[in-house]
């Protein structure tokens, strides 16, 4: 019985907060990220805003990021990441590392990125580990799925509908898309029908 009351109270609290959050959220976050399917079809986006107001703006975790994000991910430079607001869910879980201080990360619409994924645009210089090599953009096509614990290395381009198996290390591009890749280094293990 108690869990039912908790669910009802959570629902009422979330729905009562939405009008207030609609007013105050644009003071703290870029309003172009407060749109899309997570804000219009349900209250999930507003729950992320409520959490992020506390963690990003008051506790200063990921304070430099202009959209609601989990306190348990790292984004080097939010100016170097392109994504559609419908895909804000990719920044709400744990362990992801978006290393993009010297090149762009482009995430195609409808792509899902699982927890603990690393997307890296610049490697360390092997002759001076305190320095980095010049960065190379990482581009992920539309409707891709990047499995848990995967790593995408600098310069990787994934075509549309590419599925990256969990734990894979993607060292080269698969620009044609419509494939499942897996392994270390990742290779095509299956083509998908188009």
CA distance 56 to 148: 25
* Residue labelled with tokens 């107001």: 53
Active-site option among 124, 132, 157, 161: 124
Query: Does the active-site annotation cover 161?
Result: no
Burial readout 30-39 (b: 16 or more C-beta within 10 A, e: otherwise):
eeebbebebb
CA distance 13 to 129: 50
Burial readout 140-156 (b: 16 or more C-beta within 10 A, e: otherwise):
bbebbbbbbbbbbbbbb
CA distance 113 to 180: 15
| Residues noted as catalytic | 124
């Amino acid at each position: 019985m108690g869990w039912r009351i908790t669910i009802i109270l959570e629902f009422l609290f979330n729905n009562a907060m939405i009008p207030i959050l609609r007013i105050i959220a644009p003071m703290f976050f870029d309003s172009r990220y407060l749109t899309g399917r997570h804000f219009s079809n349900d209250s999930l986006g507003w729950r992320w805003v409520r959490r992020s107001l506390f963690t990003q703006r008051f506790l200063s975790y990921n304070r430099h990021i202009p959209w609601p994000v989990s306190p348990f991910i790292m984004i080097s430079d939010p100016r170097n990441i392109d994504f559609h607001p419908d895909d804000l869910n990719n920044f709400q879980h744990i362990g992801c590392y978006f290393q993009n201080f010297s090149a762009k990360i482009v995430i195609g619409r409808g792509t899902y990125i699982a927890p603990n994924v690393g997307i890296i645009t610049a490697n360390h210089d092997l002759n001076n580990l305190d320095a980095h090599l010049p960065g190379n953009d990482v581009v992920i096509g539309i409707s891709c799925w990047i499995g848990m614990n995967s790593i995408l290395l600098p310069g990787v381009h994934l075509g549309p509908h590419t599925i990256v198996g969990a734990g894979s290390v993607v060292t080269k591009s698969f620009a044609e898309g419509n494939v499942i890749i897996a392994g270390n280094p990742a290779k095509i293990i299956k083509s998908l029908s188009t």
